[in-house]
Amino acid sequence: MGISIRAEGLRISKGGREILAVDNLEIGRGEVWGLIGPNGAGKSTLIQVLALLEEPDSGSIFFDGQKIDYHRALSWRRQLAVVFQEALLLDTTVFNNVAVGLRFRGIPRPVVKERVEHWLEVLRISHLAGRPARRLSGGEAQRVSLARAFVLEPRVLFLDEPFAALDAPTRGALLEELHLILRETGITAVFVTHDFTELPFLADRVAALQGGRIVQTGRPETILWQPASVELAAFVGITNLLPGEARLNGSGPVQVRLQGGVTILAGTRVGGRVVACLRPEEIIIQGGNAAEAPVNRLRGRVRHIIPQGGQYRVELDCGLPLVALAGASQLRQGCLQPGREVLATFPPEAVHLIPA
């Protein structure tokens, strides 16, 4: 169902500044790709270019190996659909909003009715068919946007932060339904997100952008746990970025001497000056009288405990500052209190090294 996409040498400049510089990007047929990066990284611009909504200053787009001429691309544009963060709905009924694209294409009325009713049912909004779009909630409006996209039977779906403005329960439900639809239809999809929890659930692969350039591509877990740069590590939520000196020791774990004389073991085979990256959720906190782990055991004290969603951010002083995450049960047990001595442990494979 889906089509493959290849981008080569894309360049866009505005106001004398280059805002997009993508040398190469290949998206396989039926793959789901996530685009991440800070504001202004070029994610939305890349979506616009891939969706044939904006022509680059230079470079080429290929669909299924065929180079696209932006001025003669109507047949390809009809195979694409785009869903934006804000549901851009017409001031008419839900049914008419979903049907509008089919009607523009001259699809016979019985076929329009059948396809619209099918997608209203799939997205669980059949009961809203006759309701004016202006009376919809945010979640309902975005379901209508998705139905309007899928009813066109696109081969590629582009989504530019479609769930960013929704509450967590609504966002979670829509993500689950979108995941199932994409797997069942085999549509190629590219989506922009700032919510990293969406990546492992929805994406086959991820492209991380900074300054208009793709700095890393890979599976979601690779991007989130093994980022290619310190800047990307900080962006994806790795709060423990520890400068040090790594020493290779045969085939065993790498020894890393951190500031303050603290030495830890890492799984990444990198020597010399490095930045050790350790996600806070990889750190296990135990009471100060706990039996010491064989490796990567740091004694310290709790400095601050800060609520963070359903968890708690625990700031530690272990001869160097560390940040860990803890659950409510640990706080109820009383072992986590400001000033209390604790033992922080983590496995060597949780430590990712980036050359400094």
Domains plus CATH for the chain? 5-230 (3.40.50.300), 238-355 (2.40.50.100)
Q: What is the per-residue pLDDT across 181-218, written as a single tens digit (0 to 9) for each? A: 999 999 999 999 988 888 998 999 999 999 999 999 99
Average predicted confidence (pLDDT) for the chain: 92
Residue bearing the bigger pLDDT, 163 or 46: 46
Average pLDDT of the residues in 263-269: 91
What confidence tier does 272 reach under pLDDT thresholds 50, 70, 90? Answer: very high
Residue 351 has pLDDT above 70, yes or no: yes
Residue 64 has pLDDT above 90, yes or no: yes
DSSP letter for each residue of 265-283: EESS---EEEEEEE-GGG-
Residue 289 has pLDDT above 70, yes or no: no
Q: What is the per-residue pLDDT across 293-331, written as a single tens digit (0 to 9) for each? A: 578 999 999 999 999 878 899 999 998 999 999 888 777
The dihedrals phi and psi of 293, each to the nearest 5 degrees, come to -75, 155
Q: What is the per-residue pLDDT across 128-180, written as a single tens digit (0 to 9) for each? A: 999 999 999 999 999 999 999 999 999 999 999 988 888 888 999 999 999 99
What confidence tier does 11 reach under pLDDT thresholds 50, 70, 90? Answer: very high
- Residue 89 backbone class (left: φ over 0; alpha: ψ -120 to 50; beta: rest): beta
Q: pTM for the full model?
A: 0.90
For helices 138-150 and 94-104, what crossing angle results, to 10°? 20
Structure tokens at 215: 């700095």
Cα separation, 30 vs 182, in Å, equals: 8
Residue 255 has pLDDT above 90, yes or no: yes
